Structure 1
Amino acid sequence: MFTLFLGLLLWSGLHFWKRVSPSSRAKLGDKGKGIVAAGLVLSIVLMVVGYRAAEGTVFWGRTPAMTGINNLLMVLAFYLYAASAAKTRVTKWVRNPQLTAVKVWAISHILVNGDTPSFLLFGGLFAWALAEVIVLNRVAPPAPYRDVPVKKEITAAVATVVAFSITAAIHIWLGVNPFG
């Protein structure tokens, strides 16, 4: 589980770098973006490898009811993420839709994966997203909401269905059926 934990620390550290030490991050300019991108890819690899190798106590297993709830929450998470990019109407009420999507994603995965490695991975990413929202709310005032055309709502809905379908297909390909 050390590899998983290391991946979480790297992920969180790189995301908070700009907030904790803006001058050191700014000094690197565009080169810093490459460092962050490479570090984030490495952190994801560490989390995936660490999660797949981790063992721990199982508190509950997957049930049909929790699987259904998980899938509904995942559709919501994908919509929130797409809504952030399209700046849809939900951004009027949800200030940080991408981070809210991460929190919904994490909770949905804990519901169907009740084991220690899942608590560490999904709980850790939930904690990161929550901390990120708190920091962002302190350092940046909310941007004013602007009405968007219906086309943006449709774009977000289509992106949600496409992303959910691709993600489900990848899960099935990896041997984890999200529907059963």
Structure 2
Amino acid sequence: MALPLTLLIAGLALWWLAHLFKRIAPERRAAMGNGGRGAVALALIASIVLMTFGIRTADASPDLWYPPHWLRHLNNLLVLIALYFTSPGPSKGALFYKMRHPMLFGFALWAFAHLLVNGDLATMILFGGLLAWALAEMVVINRAEPEWAPPPKGSIAKDAMFLAISVLLLGLIGWIHGLLGYPVFG
């Protein structure tokens, strides 16, 4: 296996481990006290660095499939929806306040959207691994904490506000993608 894919897979594994650590080894995590937060944060930063180096240096030829151009538009719509779900909107608004894992759902939707428009092996590994993590995290949390109560219902105005912010954020993210050589609009 080439070094870029090894870095990518190591980053994904570290991402999974850091996020699931308190569920896999709750006694060990509790014994670490507040220092455990710092260790988990460092592990997450290291995982992002590894995934970034892995994906940026991997061969970007479409090995597995060639996505049609129109999927770019679907990707942008799904990413917009994902941005809304990862915002405080669902828990502070009136439409989705009863949804237990809006941020993980948004993250999973974001990863799925990226699978639609990228056909190379490295991207499939990265976003497929992150999508699987988000889905697994929901299951693990639901099993560990089966009792959950939704927050109080918010207002439609909050939903609208966070949707507007999500639209602006999508524009900013698209602009940054373009600067990095990954145009997402047009």
Superposition TM-score, scaled by structure 1 size: 0.91
Q: Does 1:177 align with 2:174?
A: no
* Structure 1 residue runs without a partner (length 5+): none
* Structure 2 residue runs without a partner (length 5+): none
Task: Select which of 115, 123, 126 maps to 1:118.
Answer: 123
Q: Map 1:1-180; keep pairs closer than 5 Å.
A: 1-55=5-59, 58-83=63-88, 86-140=91-145, 141-180=147-186
Distance in 2, matches of 1:133 and 1:165, equals: 29
Structure 1 residues 127 and 84: alpha-carbon distance in aligned structure 2, compared to 1, 3 A threshold: farther
Compare 21-30 and 118-127 and name the one that shifted more.
21-30
Q: What is the letter of the counterpart of residue 108 of structure 1?
A: A
Query: Conserved in 1, the CA contact under 8 Å of 2:104 and 2:135?
Result: yes
Structure 1 residues 84 and 37: alpha-carbon distance in aligned structure 2, compared to 1, 3 A threshold: farther
Give, in angstroms, the shift of residue 21 of structure 1: 1.0
Compare 88-97 and 75-84 and name the one that shifted more.
88-97
Query: Conserved in 2, the CA contact under 8 Å of 1:82 and 1:156?
Result: yes
Q: What is the letter of the counterpart of residue 153 of structure 1?
A: D
Give, in angstroms, the shift of residue 88 of structure 1: 2.3
Give, in angstroms, the shift of residue 90 of structure 1: 4.0
Structure 1 residues 155 and 14: alpha-carbon distance in aligned structure 2, compared to 1, 3 A threshold: same
Q: What is the letter of the counterpart of residue 129 of structure 2?
A: G
Give, in angstroms, the shift of residue 163 of structure 1: 2.0
Query: Conserved in 2, the CA contact under 8 Å of 1:83 and 1:90?
Result: no
Q: What is the letter of the counterpart of residue 103 of structure 1?
A: A
Give, in angstroms, the shift of residue 46 of structure 1: 0.5
Superposition TM-score, scaled by structure 2 size: 0.88
Aligned length: 180
Query: Conserved in 2, the CA contact under 8 Å of 1:60 and 1:115?
Result: yes
Distance in 1, matches of 2:142 and 2:95, equals: 17
More helix as a share of residues: 1
Identical positions, percent: 38
Q: What is the letter of the counterpart of residue 54 of structure 1?
A: A
* Aligned residues: CA RMSD: 1.8
